[in-house]
Structure 1
Amino acid sequence: MTSPSQRRGRPGGSRGTDLLDVAREVLLARRYAGATMDAVAAQARISKQTLYRQYASKEILYAAVVRDWVDRGRDAMAPHLAELMATDDVRQGLLRLCRTLHHGVLSAPVLQMRTLITAEAERFPDVAADYVSRSWDHNQALLADALRHLAARGLLRVDEPEVAAEQLTWLTLAAPLNRLTLTGGAARYPAEELEAVAHEAVATFLARYGARPDR
């Protein structure tokens, strides 16, 4: 039998996106193999029966956690890319975008989710593929559209926007993302070092794609 305090606690248990937040915390802390439905139910303050009614297995719950994570961040880049497309100073606009990429992709929550999804990609290839398609590929396509727009305004010389978007992204992220991934997030970049990476990324990108002044 449950105690009165336990019974009173049930109505306040997590539901909906709050439940997925709890499940994500458990998965990140214990990894997939160590996470259990019991642990999620206990941390969410709901019964196992309630949890299983919503998610019939740990596999289904894991897929829902990743899908929810993608849904929440899917349009995060849109306002930043709109700002880039509206700029008259392409160098400053690109620098702002690089800082945004650093702030987002190199943040602890994003790094942790990338690590989790990568670790489970062989077990759940469809979940990983959906993450790549609706998160990474989606944002790269939006960036390519922004670069195409800047080229149409005469601020860049871009013949293949998709290639240019990929190059800008990796000039900005490759070194810090590699270091943080391989050290489990322990080797953090100082702010001034990330700023230097952003400036070098933009300088290299504009050397290749910057508009030539009229002769």
Structure 2
Amino acid sequence: MTNPVETRMTRKRQSILAAATELFLQRGFLATNMDEVAAMAGVSKQTVYAHFGTKEALFLDIVTGMTGVAGDELEEQVADPVDGRPIEDFLKDFAEQQLAIVMTPRLMQLRRLVIGEAERFPELGKRLHAKGPRRSIDRLRKALAHYRERGDVEARDLRGAASFFNWLVMGEPVNDAMLLGDQAIPGPDALRAHARESVRIFLSAYGRKQ
């Protein structure tokens, strides 16, 4: 049976996280205070502190959660390579889904926020990197190992090749959105075209030589 007390606590925690996420993304860390978080969440300030302890801990929890959700979604959307699936199909699927998931105003706002607070909270950058780029690169490395065994990839340094593909896909779109604002996020057709061109370039360098 569901425990009513645990259910209420979970609901309050989710309300706090949702409110704090909106405020942090809109105002930044320093301009957000716990009174505002409590008011927006519909709980007392004591409840906020009971769940998270400090504003810093709440902030870290949000960064970890948002980047983790994006990584989880990519794993759900793109199946690991299996025998018979062409490498080009896998890489196109991976690149297109990664761009669709990451290139959103919300995640770009989070990236800007983390960069702005990186010196104050060095742990932020580490968490964003671990849950974001490093997770994607590690998964790509494992996929490329599968395709190297099949003879579809020629690369001694699989992690280097995976990193190259990751940033070939993400580099320009992310950089433009970070520096030029959300209006610089490409539309779906442009993102798909960029993903496919990234795959073509990558396979020209690392694919099986005829």
Fold shared per TM-score above 0.5: yes
Residue 31 (structure 2) pairs with residue 30 (structure 1): no
Q: Residue in 2 aligned with 1:88?
A: 85
Counterpart residue type for residue 124 of structure 1? F
Root-mean-square deviation over aligned CA pairs: 2.2
Q: How far does the alpha carbon of each residue in 1:140-163 deviate from its partner, in whole angstroms, 9 at most, with x for none? A: 111111111111122222221111
Max radius of gyration: which structure?
Answer: 1
Percent of aligned positions that are identical: 28
CA separation in 2, counterparts of 1:96 and 1:208? 19
TM-score (norm 2): 0.86
Name the CA shift for 1:206/1:73 in 2 (closer, same or farther; >3 Å).
same
CA separation in 1, counterparts of 2:107 and 2:16? 19
CA separation in 1, counterparts of 2:119 and 2:29? 12
Residue 169 (structure 2) pairs with residue 172 (structure 1): yes
Q: Residue in 2 aligned with 1:127?
A: 124
Contiguous gaps of at least 5 residues in structure 2? 1-7
Q: Which moved more, 1:135-144 or 1:80-89?
A: 80-89
Q: How far does the alpha carbon of each residue in 1:156-209 deviate from its partner, in whole angstroms, 9 at most, with x for none? A: 222211111111111111111111111121223133322221222111101111
TM-score (norm 1): 0.84
Name the CA shift for 1:86/1:41 in 2 (closer, same or farther; >3 Å).
farther
Q: Residue in 1 aligned with 2:46?
A: 49
Name the CA shift for 1:190/1:87 in 2 (closer, same or farther; >3 Å).
farther
Residue 208 (structure 2) pairs with residue 196 (structure 1): no
Contiguous gaps of at least 5 residues in structure 1? 1-10
CA separation in 2, counterparts of 1:13 and 1:160? 44
Q: How far does the alpha carbon of each residue in 1:71-119 deviate from its partner, in whole angstroms, 9 at most, with x for none? A: 4344333345534445532222211111112101212222121111111
Counting matched residue pairs gives 203
Offset at residue 13 of structure 1 (A): 10
CA separation in 1, counterparts of 2:60 and 2:52? 10
Counterpart residue type for residue 119 of structure 2? E
Q: Residue in 2 aligned with 1:150?
A: 147
Q: Which moved more, 1:62-71 or 1:76-85?
A: 76-85
List aligned pairs for 1:203-214, cutoff 5 A: 203-213=200-210
Q: Residue in 1 aligned with 2:107?
A: 110
1:138 aligned residue (135, 139, 164): 135
Offset at residue 52 of structure 1 (A): 1.9
Name the CA shift for 1:114/1:86 in 2 (closer, same or farther; >3 Å).
farther
SS class of match (1:82): coil
The question of whether the paired residues in 2 share the 8 Å contact of 1:82 and 1:146 is answered with no
Name the CA shift for 1:113/1:209 in 2 (closer, same or farther; >3 Å).
same
